[in-house]
Amino acid sequence: MMKVTDSSKSTKSGPNLTWSGRRHIIDTSDLTLDEVEYLFSIARRYRDGGPAALPLPQEFHGQGVANVFYENSTRTRSSFEFAGKVLRLNVVNIDSKVSSVNKGESIEDTGRNLAAMGFKIIIQRHSAAGACNLLVQAVGDKACIINAGEGASSHPSQALLDAMTMLECRDNLRGAKIAIIGDITHSRVARSNLWLLQLLGAEVHFAGPPTLMPSYLRELGAHVHLRPEEAIKAADFVMALRLQLERQQSGLIPSIDEYQRVFRIDHERLALGKPGIKVLHPQPMNRDIEITYSLADDQKFSLMDKQVSNGFALRMAILYTLLTQTKLTQTNKL
C-alpha cells in the first residue's frame, strides 16, 4: 500500500505512478489508495504550479467535455469548466432547463448523443442515485463519466478535495478523528467522505438530529453520536454540513432555532477539539444555521477557501488523468 501524504517532494509524484486505467469516477468507494494517491500527486502539481506544471499533451487539446447538470451548482460546475478551459479543452455546458431532457429525453439517450458527437468526458450532476451508472452503460467505451454529485449518495470530487485539504495540515490521515456534523441523511458529501476517509485510515464520527441520521452508518464503520460535542471532542477536523432545506420533509427537525441551538458549530464547540483543529464546509452554507458567521470567516480555523482552490486543482487532475491514462474508442477526429 502506498503512503498518502502531502509531500510535494515525493519522488513518487505524477508520471512515476501509474493510473489503473479506470475510465469513470463514480464514487470514492470504487477507488484504491494508489488511485487516490495518483490523483493527489497530479492535483498538487497543479495547485503549486498552475496548468503549466503539467501541460496536457497537444494531441488532447480541443477535446470535448460536456458539463450536464440537472441540479444547481456553483463551485463544482464552474471549477470543472474552468479546469477544462485552462487545460485547453472545449467545455460545453448543457443547460438542462432548455435541453431535450425537458422533452422527455432519457439520461442514456442524452449521453449516447454526446458520445456520438465526440465528447470524451461527460460530467453529470443528477438528483437520482445511480444516474451515472445509466450513463456509463449508455456510452460504453466512447467517453469517460465523472459523477459531480448524485442524489444523497455520492460526490467523489468533493470528498477528494476535502481529503486533499486535510492533508495540507497533517502528513497523513491515519488515526485522525474527523467529525461530520449536521444533515447526514441528505448529504452525498458525507457518504463519499466516509468511504474515502476510512480508506485513508481516519476515524469518522457523525453527529446530527436522529431524524437526519441514517441507521446503517455504524455498519459501515462510522461512529454515531447524538450530540455534536461528543463527535468534536479531541477531533482533528470538523466538517459542518448544510441543512438541506430543499430536501427536507416536514417534521424532521423541531425548528431552525432548535437546530441552531444544538448543532450549529461555533468557536465554543470547536474548542472541544484538539489544539490546531480546523473546520471545513463543502458549501453552499446557510450562515448562522450550521456554522456561525464568525467561525466561517475565521481564517485561523476555516479551510473553506483552501477547499475551493484545491477543488479546482483536483478537477484539473481528474480531467488530465482520464484523458491521458484511459483508452477510448474514437468516435470522431477530435
Using CB under 6 A as the criterion, which residues of the chain lie in contact with ligand NCD when the complex forms?
A: 75-76, 149, 155, 158, 188-189, 242, 244, 282-283
Q: How far is the CB of 13 from ligand NCD (least distance, A)?
A: 27
Between strands 90-95 and 203-207, the pairing is unpaired
Name the residue nearer to ligand NCD (CB basis): 75 or 88: 75
Q: How far is the CB of 52 from ligand NCD (least distance, A)?
A: 27
- Cβ–Cβ under 8 Å, residues 142 and 167: no
Q: How far is the CB of 263 from ligand NCD (least distance, A)?
A: 15
Residue nearest to ligand NCD (CB): 242
Name the residue nearer to ligand NCD (CB basis): 112 or 155: 155
> What are the b/e assignments for 34-52, b being 16+ CB within 10 Å?
ebbbbbbbbbbbbbeeebe
Alpha carbons 87 and 119: distance in angstroms, whole number: 15
State the angle between helix axes of 33-49 and 156-166 in degrees (0 to 180), rounded to the nearest 10. Answer: 70
Q: How far is the CB of 169 from ligand NCD (least distance, A)?
A: 20
Name the residue nearer to ligand NCD (CB basis): 280 or 322: 280
Name the residue nearer to ligand NCD (CB basis): 59 or 246: 246
- Cβ–Cβ under 8 Å, residues 246 and 122: no
Q: How far is the CB of 244 from ligand NCD (least distance, A)?
A: 6
Q: How far is the CB of 291 from ligand NCD (least distance, A)?
A: 12
Name the residue nearer to ligand NCD (CB basis): 189 or 317: 189
Q: How far is the CB of 316 from ligand NCD (least distance, A)?
A: 17
Q: What is the CA radius of gyration of the chain?
A: 20
Alpha carbons 224 and 210: distance in angstroms, whole number: 10
Cα within 13 Å of Cα(113), Cβ side: 11
Q: How far is the CB of 16 from ligand NCD (least distance, A)?
A: 31
Name the residue nearer to ligand NCD (CB basis): 120 or 188: 188
Task: Kindly report the number of other CB atoms within 10 A of residue 105's CB atom.
Answer: 12
- Cβ–Cβ under 8 Å, residues 190 and 241: yes
Per-residue DSSP letters for 123-189? EEEESSTTHHHHHHHHHTTS-EEEEEEETTTB-HHHHHHHHHHHTTTSS--TT-EEEEES--TT-HH
Name the residue nearer to ligand NCD (CB basis): 90 or 93: 93
Question: Hey, which residues does 239 pair with through a beta bridge?
Answer: 180, 280
Alpha carbons 307 and 126: distance in angstroms, whole number: 22
- Give the cell for residue 304: 473553506
Name the residue nearer to ligand NCD (CB basis): 47 or 188: 188
